[in-house]
């Protein structure tokens, strides 16, 4: 027990030392660019000398960040936002960033992250995906000096992992409420009287089944308890042809609007909606521009802002690891954009006004999902 206490104390001391080092270097970088602080150049040179003379790779690694993408970056908006936010924060502090793509084989992500941490080249590894929280915690157990930031995580805590969880239940409620308004509308040209809404998902996973699917249904039933939800599981995140077939079947069964959460396969749902003169809803990112008049609205996460803010906390030595934080609409990380030109063009004013009121009440805290649950 005594040995464990000593080791824990040494790790904590080491972590605090790296945090102070980042703060001092950041101050020097700012001073270097300031004509009012001539001592900045002297301090910066002194720090460079310290780095050169230090044989500890962990101290050198404190000034670089790795972004691990569990998939591919291009065509994955949430990962693109993560990467962009990290780079914005890092650029302000003159910190190097390297992006590593893990590919679509989820079974390999754990080994890849373990190898990345073992290199001891990065002070912080940033990633995103609920599955990555557990993988990061397991990796941190083997490399207790490596710090991790998981965006859109699962809520699991442990070690040197900071986990940020978006309130997807709120997000799904907003888009579900909008879907309810669309399917019950007399003003939408392609809405019908069947009171059926569709949903296509890439795969079933805990967050989907615990938060997104129930939140979407609560939104629908808040508008009208008689609305029926019909959802299909694609089985992957890329098969656009199969997604189009599933969507065509939903539209044929009476659904006039579909929420699609199927990665790059979403394009197949858009194609089916155009062929059937029906509607599509988007999740996590703004999607109206992909098919104006077909993709009507989006419930989004502000991942770029979150990545930039939490990486800045790490740079300043203020990132708290070993805990998970849940954020939603009141914190500004869940939203339903109302001001887009396409939204105003294709959505009737009565529905826009209703959504504006609902979003406003949720942001202020006047409306919460707890009140709807009771």
For residue 241, pLDDT over 70 is answered with yes
Predicted pLDDT at 362: 97
Computed over every residue of the chain, the mean pLDDT equals 88
Separation of alpha carbons 15 and 203, rounded Å: 38
Selected residue with higher pLDDT from 23 and 271: 271
Task: Give the chain's end-to-end CA distance (angstroms, integer).
Answer: 47
Selected residue with higher pLDDT from 29 and 126: 126
> Quick one: pLDDT band at residue 309, thresholds 50, 70, 90?
very high
Separation of alpha carbons 147 and 125, rounded Å: 6
Tens of pLDDT, residue by residue over 135-173, are 999 999 999 999 999 999 999 999 999 999 999 999 999
| CA distances (Å), origin 114, targets 79, 132, 136, 140, 292 | 20, 12, 9, 9, 43
Predicted pLDDT at 23: 53
Separation of alpha carbons 216 and 247, rounded Å: 18
CB proximity list for 170: less than 8 A, separation 6 or greater? 215, 328, 329, 334, 362, 369
Predicted pLDDT at 259: 98
CB proximity list for 290: less than 8 A, separation 6 or greater? 266, 267, 270, 282
Predicted pLDDT at 63: 82
* Mean pLDDT across 230-249: 96
Say what percent of the chain tops pLDDT 90. Answer: 79
Q: For the chain, list the domains and their CATH numbers.
A: 2-166+304-327 (3.40.50.2300), 168-301+338-373 (3.40.50.2300)
Predicted pLDDT at 57: 42
> Quick one: pLDDT band at residue 279, thresholds 50, 70, 90?
very high
Predicted pLDDT at 372: 73
Tens of pLDDT, residue by residue over 30-86, are 444 444 444 444 444 444 444 444 444 444 566 899 999 999 998 889 999 999 999
Separation of alpha carbons 256 and 327, rounded Å: 32
């Amino acid at each position: 027990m005594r040995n464990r206490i000593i080791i824990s104390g040494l790790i904590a001391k080491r972590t605090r030392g790296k945090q102070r080092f980042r703060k001092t270097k950041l101050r020097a970088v700012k001073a270097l660019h300031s004509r009012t602080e001539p001592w900045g150049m002297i301090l910066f040179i002194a720090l460079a000398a310290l780095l050169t003379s230090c044989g500890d790779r962990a101290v050198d690694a404190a000034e670089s960040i790795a972004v691990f993408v569990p998939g591919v970056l291009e065509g994955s908006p949430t990962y693109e936002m993560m990467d962009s936010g990290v780079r914005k924060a890092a650029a302000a502090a003159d910190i190097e960033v390297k992006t590593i793509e893990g590919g679509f084989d989820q079974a390999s992500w754990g080994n890849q992250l373990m190898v990345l941490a073992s290199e001891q080249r990065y002070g912080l590894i940033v990633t995103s995906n609920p599955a990555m929280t557990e993988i990061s915690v397991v990796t941190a157990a083997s490399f207790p000096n490596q710090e991790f930031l998981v965006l859109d995580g699962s809520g699991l805590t442990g070690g040197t992992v900071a986990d940020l969880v978006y309130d997807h239940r709120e997000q799904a409620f907003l888009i579900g409420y909008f879907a309810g308004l669309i399917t019950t509308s007399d003003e939408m040209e392609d809405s019908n009287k069947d009171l059926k809404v569709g949903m296509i998902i890439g795969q079933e996973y805990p967050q989907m089944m615990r938060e997104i699917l129930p939140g979407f249904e609560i939104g629908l039933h808040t508008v009208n308890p008689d609305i029926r939800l019909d959802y299909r599981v694609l089985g992957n995140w890329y098969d656009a042809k199969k997604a189009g077939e599933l969507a065509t079947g939903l539209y044929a069964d009476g659904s006039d609007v579909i929420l699609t959460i199927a990665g790059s396969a979403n394009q197949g749902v858009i194609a089916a909606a155009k062929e059937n003169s029906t509607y599509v809803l988007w999740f996590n990112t703004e999607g109206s521009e992909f098919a104006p008049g077909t993709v009507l609205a989006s419930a989004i996460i502000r991942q770029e802002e979150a990545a930039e803010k939490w990486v800045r906390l790490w740079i300043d030595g203020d990132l708290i690891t070993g805990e998970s934080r849940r954020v939603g609409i009141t914190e500004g990380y869940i939203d339903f954009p109302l001001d887009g030109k396409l939204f105003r063009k294709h959505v009737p004013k009565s529905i826009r006004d209703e959504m504006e009121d609902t979003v406003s009440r949720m942001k202020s805290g006047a409306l919460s999902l707890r009140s709807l649950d009771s």
